[in-house]
Chain A
């Protein structure tokens, strides 16, 4: 069984930094033979379409590399805003907090999203 990667986003990222994270994380999934990626966004007070797309890209790339991605800790205000913005984060599995996210990844259940995949790329 591979390892789990835990990523905590702590800063308000500019766009290039988000792309760098996306690339670094993809490389780490391969290097660490990770089967799960947990992204903690509880410190983020804003998720715009760019960050939303980055999260979707990470989930898609991880899936191709046989790893599941769970995004945890989304603030309620961020969730409400994302939906109004028109971003439903297709293909991204979410959990309330890190513990729940770990449980999901350890269970390794394919779940409902693994089969249909993201609708945009």
Chain B
């Protein structure tokens, strides 16, 4: 069940900082450990940058979740950019279509409890990550 939902626009570099800070605030709110906070904030930073740089901007939705036995934080990044033609390749470490290090998607996946990606060429990309409280 979604407890709290925040939507933020991702258009410029400064928005990446704002998403990091909002992710941190919600992680603290649901009581994630320092390590899990750091992991989800880092993943958020990578994905937010992808949305701004490769997706041409978009929206991120931050949601705190509560199930019967667990609490977590879900972040969903959506853009209407060019889409990713080969997701498998984009997930590989070191592969980038731009000038980055190519660690964003694979790294974000490793730093999250759950990860999903949906992308359609010419339509856009949606990436969702969840970190559950240990």
Which residues of A come within 8 Å of B, CB atoms? 12-16, 45-50, 52-53, 75-78, 80-81, 84-87, 120
Chain B interface size, as a band, is 20 to 34
Give the number of residue pairs across the A-B interface with Cβ within 8 Å: 73
Shortest Cβ distance from B101 into A: residue: A49
Which residues of B lie under 8 Å from residue A81 when comparing CB positions? 35, 38-39, 42, 111
User: What are 16 inter-chain pairs, A to B, with CB distance below 8 A?
Assistant: A12-B20, A15-B49, A45-B37, A45-B41, A46-B38, A46-B42, A48-B46, A53-B101, A77-B35, A77-B38, A81-B42, A81-B111, A84-B107, A85-B103, A85-B111, A87-B103
- Report the Cα distance A12→B21, complex, angstroms: 9
Q: Residue among A47, A50, A76, A87 with the most chain B CB within 10 A? A: A50
Shortest Cβ distance from B39 into A: residue: A81
- Report the Cα distance A81→B110, complex, angstroms: 10
| Contact status of A86 and B38, CB under 8 A, knowing A12-B17, A46-B45, A48-B45 | no
